[in-house]
Amino acid sequence: MASSEEDGTVEEKENNNKKRTKSALATAWLTFYNIAMTAGWLVLAMAMMRFYIQKGTHKGLYRSIARTLKFFQTFALVEVGHCAIGIVRTSVIVTGVQVCSRIFMVWFITNSIRQIQNEESVILFLVVWTVTEITRYSYYTFNLLHHLPYFIKWARYNLFIVLYPLGVIGELMTIYAALPFVRRSGMYSMRLPNKYNVSFDYYYCLIIVILSYIPLFPQLYFHMLRQRRRVLHGEVIVEKDD
């Protein structure tokens, strides 16, 4: 009996050690990742400010930062993986929608349609994204290091109240500005007849994307408001089952 109990104790200790090792590795990776992303968006912010100071105009700004923007925004797909494997306790669906919508805006709207790259709406959502991401990744970094300044915590859960709607306005205006060019060019569309016997119209796809903001934006916005109440005011949020 004593031997059996000792074996059980040893096994339990080994399991606990493995869990601690995995937790330490996950924390180290998340810290590195968030520092890198904070630095990346700071580089973007400085590049945008430098361009505007030197040129005195926003025209050409997007093209000057496009490569860096595409890299860091696309790399954010890693965050969906973080949620999926459980090292971050956030909804895979919420994270996936947010990350993929950004990637769609970068690759399939702004990057693909050069005629809209100088629109004011592009600069609007770029500025909003940059401020949001610097704040968000800074918050995660300091939180992981257990040294979270209050002003970063405050910024994380207050700035979005204004920035989130402004970002959505910028994105919607950019997609709307892209519609005439998409319709004339027929880009990313497939017309019948073709060997695949499939029809797809990117123009109407973009209209559906615009309409999808109607149900999605309130859900994501109120999700952040619930998080804000929980973090800043200590409210316990009870989620109702459907």
Q: Which residues are catalytic?
A: 164, 171
Q: Which two tokens stand for residue 87?
A: 């090292």
Residue 237 CB partners (closer than 8 Å, separation 6+):
226, 229, 230
Q: How far is CA 161 from the centre of its chain?
A: 16
- CB-CB neighbours of 27 under 10 Å: 13
Handedness of CA 84, 88, 89, 91 (dihedral sign): negative
φ, ψ dihedrals at 148, nearest 5° = -95, 110
Tokens 């790399």 sit on residue: 75
CA pair distance 178, 59, nearest whole angstrom: 17
34: buried, middle or exposed (CB in 10 Å: 19+, 13-18, 0-12)? buried
